[in-house]
Chain A
Amino acid sequence: MTEQLSYQGTEDYIVSNDLQNSVNISVALKRPLLIKGEPGTGKTVLAESIARSLGLRLIIWNIKSTTKAQDGLYVYDTVQRLYDSQFGEQNVSNIKQYIKLGKLGEAFESTERVVLLIDEIDKADLEFPNDLLWELDVMNFYIPETGETITTNHRPIVIITSNAEKELPDAFLRRCVFHYIDFPDQKMMEEIVHVHFPDLEKQLLAEALKAFYWLRSISGLQKKPSTSELLDWVQALTIGGIEPSKIAQEIPFLGALLKKNQDFDLTLRQLHTRGTDNSSRAKRGW
């Protein structure tokens, strides 16, 4: 029986109760935790926070569109071996030195318990998650070239994030614990910003959040601003020394929040109508 680890969040990462629950459930049940949510809600940072909170090493496996499941297990560098057999000095009969473990292999082989983050699994090929089912289930794999089985003594805590760009296969989903990170409400957002900018003026923060949630409420935005953009923006506001009273009215440095041209135009139009309602056509400074 392994000791029960309990995740409580860390100082720099505000975690909601149910997310904390989900993490603990997945740790206790030894199942991968699948995290979905809007971009910028801190899916990737969660793994870092878990690792820090539990005092474990974090191994990150970043998935790209070209990533194959095999890459995560091991790569047999045949070319290097062939090369060494002709030009190298060392003995090439030991295949083991040409087997390079991937991130998953590294996590399995580790002598201590680790946190393994499989980041943006939906980026990969459609069949990718299915190819990993067995390895994630039994937490070992076989290397035919050396006749070795890489197996784990300490089941890693597996966190998988997805941006829902592709549907994940059912067989894969069945084995996961699932959590959807909701977009934080204003109160929680205050805490999050406070963690990053402890010295921020109350009034500035309140005004900034007001403007931020107003922006998010505009219908038809192609990409709503997210937490990370809000943080950038707040930083820009403090550096720019903007008067808190002007923030909601003018929304300076809009470019920090919106990344698409159409969104920009749409917001300016909305801001304009709102501005004329208040009969104050303020000049804007971005």
Chain B
Amino acid sequence: MYTNFFYTLRREGIPVSITEWLTLMEALSVGLADSSLSGFYYLARAILVKSESHFDQYDLAFQKYFQGIETPAQLLDQVSKWMENPLPPKMFSEEERNELLKKLGLPDWESLKAALEERLRTQDGAHHGGGNWIGTGGTSAFGHSGFHPGGVRIGGESYGQSAVKVASERNYRDYRSDETLGVRQFEVALRKLRQFSTRLDGLKDQLDLDDTIDETCKNAGRLKLVWTRPRKNSVKVIVLMDVGGSMTPYANICSQLFSAVHKSSHFKDLKFYYFHNCIYDLLYLDASNNPRKAVKTEDILSSLSSDYRVVIIGDAAMAPSELMMSDGNIYWGLGNEEPGITWLQRIAKKFPYNVWLNPLPEKYWDRVHGYQTLKIVRDIFPMFELTLEGLDWAIKKLMVRK
């Protein structure tokens, strides 16, 4: 009964499990739905949906299943999902472009729209690097980071300048929780970042069993209690995050990491700063990179002790001048006397426990736009990709001095 509703819900991205489905069946069999549609609505929602962030999707699925209402907004979400983990932009040469132009011709908007609708109906998953389906880095009329003479750019950055219309604005603002990499997994990974110590301040309110036994023995068997301080995490963390520009496509994963770090209450101290492309004499206190809300990098270097663990998140891909030259700062008017690389080296020297997390997949590191600077940065900081596995490696690295 209603089995299709189960699949409709799952298609909408609600993580309904079979256990929950069977619970619903049990509830129906004892008549909890009051034999009414609205009763069923609340019953199924209470049992199947476990987060208010899915209520909207539940409503969509419900409407769809029980009334067959089309929901274009939901289709867009579907497309956004295919567009995650894109290929890096593929650069087509002039000859290639002309050849493609000849081969594909310039379609008119109406037929393009019809074709897009048809693709939305029939496409079943992510397709990257091809020539027909919605995807990235290919020559299909739909997607981004590829080339098609008259295509629709769906999400992504404008690279080929040939997109007729941007069909989706919601691409990376997707907060659905059915992504494989969630905040919780990040949190679990971050929990490994700890080092217990009893030498911190605090009340001695825990029984020290070993010492108690020792002392009791010394005391000829008369009980003598020894108290100690509880073990606490002594790890202190500085997070430096690159925002804006080339980091925009990764905003989603970065914000997940951000919330995971902030939810981790087990650090002794946590400092969060922002920068744009490269670190110079200022570090910003919020993502707007406003120089009025900034601290001097020098002050951080001198005031914080060197046992802080430094985690830098950025793509490390920039113009070589931004890294190697003085006054290379991408913000006009914010000159820097010393090149960015000097600052990076200083940070690495002062804080020996350091890692760089890069949202770009590792396999593209030596051919992505800006690979020159990426390579230089990699020589200064041990670099890992911003995935669950990469984070695990990075945390292992952070626990030992390199």
Q: Which of B15, B47, B52, B222 contacts A177 (CB 8 A)?
A: B47
Q: Is the CB of A86 within 8 A of B17?
A: no
Least CB distance from A27 to B in Å reads: 10
Q: Determine how close the nearest CB of chain B comes to the CB of A25; give it in whole angstroms.
A: 5
Is B188 an interface residue, CB under 8 A from the partner?
yes
Residues of A within 8 A of B263 (CB): 165-166
Evaluate contact between B42 and A79: CB separation under 8 angstroms: no
Query: Contacting chain B: which of A46-54, A168-176, A204-212?
Result: A168-176
A-B contact count (CB 8 A): 66
Given A18-B42, A126-B191, A174-B17; A25-B27 close (CB under 8 Å): yes
A155 part of interface (Cβ distance < 8 Å):
no
Please state if B46 and A177 are interface contacts (CB–CB under 8 Å): yes
Is there an interface contact between B52 and A169, defined as CB atoms closer than 8 Å?
Answer: no
A25, A65, A87 pick with most chain B CB within 10 angstroms: A25
Q: Quote the shortest CB–CB distance from B127 to chain A (angstroms).
A: 29
Question: A25–B47 contact, CB under 8 A?
Answer: yes
Chain B interface helix/strand/loop/mixed: helix
List the one stretch of A28-36, A113-121, A262-270 in contact with chain B: A28-36
Residue in A closest to B19 when the chains form the complex, CB atoms: A174
Within 8 A of A (CB), among B14-50: 15, 17, 19-20, 23, 26-27, 30, 32, 39, 42-43, 46-47, 49-50
Quick check: B183 and A167 within 8 Å, CB to CB? yes
20 A-B residue pairs with Cβ-Cβ distance under 8 Å, sorted by A, are A22-B42, A24-B32, A25-B42, A25-B43, A25-B47, A29-B47, A65-B265, A87-B223, A126-B184, A166-B187, A167-B183, A167-B184, A167-B187, A174-B20, A174-B50, A176-B50, A177-B46, A178-B49, A178-B51, A180-B52
User: What is B's interface to A at a CB cutoff of 8 Å?
Assistant: 15, 17, 19-20, 23, 26-27, 30, 32, 39, 42-43, 46-47, 49-52, 55, 182-184, 187-188, 191, 207, 222-223, 225, 263, 265
Report which A residues bind B (CB closer than 8 A): 18, 21-22, 24-26, 28-29, 31, 34, 36, 65, 79, 82-83, 86-87, 126, 165-167, 169-170, 173-180
Across the A-B interface, give the 9 residue pairs with the lowest CB-CB distance, nearest first: A173-B50, A180-B52, A167-B184, A22-B46, A178-B50, A21-B42, A177-B46, A18-B42, A174-B19
A-B contacts besides A25-B42, A177-B47, 10 pairs, CB < 8 Å? A21-B39, A21-B42, A34-B50, A126-B184, A126-B191, A166-B263, A167-B182, A174-B17, A174-B50, A179-B46
